[in-house]
Structure 1
C-alpha cells in the first residue's frame, strides 16, 4: 500500500506549504488531485509572456506573435475526488496530454499549482517527487514502452526496482498485478509474442504493481482495434472500481469518455470549456464546440440505474426485498437484462445502501419521459 508519507491517514492533517503554495489544505476538504490555475507556455520567453498575459490579457495568437511562444495549457483548474475517474477529452492539440503530465510533473507548469493528497506537489524536491511517482502514481501511455528483451514478468518487475522490497514481495506484487489483468499465464512470454491488447494490459499491470492510489491514463487504448479497445475499457472499469483507484483518463473518443468517466472535461485551445457528468455533457453542451462532440449521441445511451429508478420514500427505505441489486451507475443494458428476469430490482450505492427501485413499468415511463 501507499505509504503514509503521501496518501494514507492524512484526512485530519492540515498541510503547511511553502510560499509557492500559500494555502493550507486538508484531504477531507479538497479532491485527491487538485490543479489550480495551471499555465504551460513553451518558448524561451515564456516567463515574460506569462507576465504579459496577466497584465494585458493577451490571447494565444498575440503570445505567439509577440513572444514566439506557444500556450499549451491556459489557466486550467479542476479536481478529482478519491475513487473517481475523470475523462479529459478534446481534439488533437487541445492540451489534454500536456495537462495530464503536469499531475506527476513530467511537465513543469509555467504557473499554477498541483496538489496530491493535500500536499503541494509543485514545490517538491527531486527525492520527494521521485517518491510521489514511485508510490502514489501509476501511468499508462498509448505507447506501452515495454522492454523487448524482457519477459512479461520482468517488465512488470522493472517498476518495482529500487523500492526497498524483498525479492519475494516483488514477485508477489507482480503476480497479483498480472492476475488482475488476466495475464498470469503469459508471464514468461516476450512482448513480441503478445497482441497489441495484451501488451497494453502488461502496461496496466506494470502501473498497478506498485499499488498506486492514482492512475494516469494517456490515450492507452486509442491505437487498438475497436473490439479489443472495448474489452480493455470494460476491464479498466472493473479493475479501477474494484481497487478503488482514482484516475485521470485522456481520450479523443466521446464514446470511451462516456463509458469510463464519472465526469468528463472537454478541452479546447488549452482550456477546459465544460466539465460535468456524461449525461450533463450530452444534455447541456456549453457551446457549439461541445455540441459538435455530442451530436448524434443518443440519450438512451447515457441512462443509468440511478437516472431511471424510483427513489425510496421514508416508508419504503427499510423494506426487505429479495430482488437483485444494481449499482447506481449501471447502464441501461444491464437494467434491461435484470428486468427480463425480475419484475423489480433494487438500486444500491457502492457501499450497498439501497436508494431506489426499478420496475418494468417504471422503466418504460422513465425512458418515455427522457425522449421528450
Structure 2
C-alpha cells in the first residue's frame, strides 16, 4: 500500500511516465513491473546481501531488477549493467569451447588428459591424471582431487595475484583422490583448470583468447571479461566475512584474479542471457548433436552433463549452472520448453539452500501460462 500511496502523491506527469514504463515492460500484463523487483528485494533482505541483479526473459516478458550497492566505499549502486564475478557459471563457457575443439577434431572426448596439458610442471604427480580423459574432466568423473584446499586458500589470501594453472594444480598433488577414474562423480575445480590449459594448447594461444574468440564474440558478450581490473567502475564488489569477525570485508580481488577454466568470467546479466540463448536456443555455438551430448545426463550423475547442470521442476526441464565464491554467487537456467532464461547474481554469500530462481520461475510462468496456483 505504501507504494501506491507514493504514486498517488506524485505529479500527474511522473505518474504517466511510470505507467507507460510498466506497460512497456510487459505489454501482455501491465502492472507486473514490480513483481521481480519485490522477489529480489525479499531475497536480499532474507539473506542479508549487499545487492544483486535478477533477470527473467521469456517470449512474452523480459525484466531486469537491480538493487543494492556495488561498492560500499563509494556508495555506488548496482544497476542492470553492473558486472559480477560468476564463479562456476563460467564452466559452461569452458565446456563449450572444449566441445568446439572436439567438433573441429583438435580434441577428442576419449583422449588421455596427460598428453594434452601444456603448461603445468610435474603434472604427472597429480593422482589419476594419467588415467582420465577429456570427457571425464567435463563431467567430473576423472577421480582428480580439487585444488581448492585450506592450504590453497591460506596461500592465495596471503598473495592474491593472478592465478595460473601451474600455480594452483600442485595443491591437489598430495590430496587423496575421491575415487577411481570413471567410477565416481566428484565435482572438482581441478578438472576445469586442466581443461583451460588443454584448450590453450590445442588452440595454439591462450585460454582467454580462445573463449573470447569462440564464445564471447559469437554470443555478443561485449561486457564480459576474463578476470577484471579493480579500477573498472562497472564492477560489483564482493563482500564476505572471511576472518569471522562479524563484519563483511571487500574480498573482490580474490575473484578478479581467478581467470582459470573453473571460473573465468566477470559479466552482466544481459551477457549471460545472450550466452544462454546463443548456446541453447539459437545454435550459434555448438552443432545440434554436440549440444545433445552436452545436455545428456552423465552415467554417474543424472543432474550433470558436460559442463552443464540439469534440472527439472513443475515448469519443465532446464539447463544451466550455479557458481559460488567468497563474496559472490550466481545461478542461471534455460528452460528449452519455454525458451526462457533466468539469471541471478549477488555480491555476497547466502545461508539458505533455497534458490531464488524457483520463486522467479513460478512468478514468470504462472503469469505467462495463466496458472494461478500457489
Which interval holds the TM-score relative to the shorter structure? under 0.3
Normalized against structure 1, the TM-score is what?
A: 0.24
Of Structure 1 and Structure 2, the greater strand share is in 1
Q: Which has the greater radius of gyration?
A: 1
Asked which structure has the greater RCO (Cα within 8 Å, sep 6+), the reply is 2
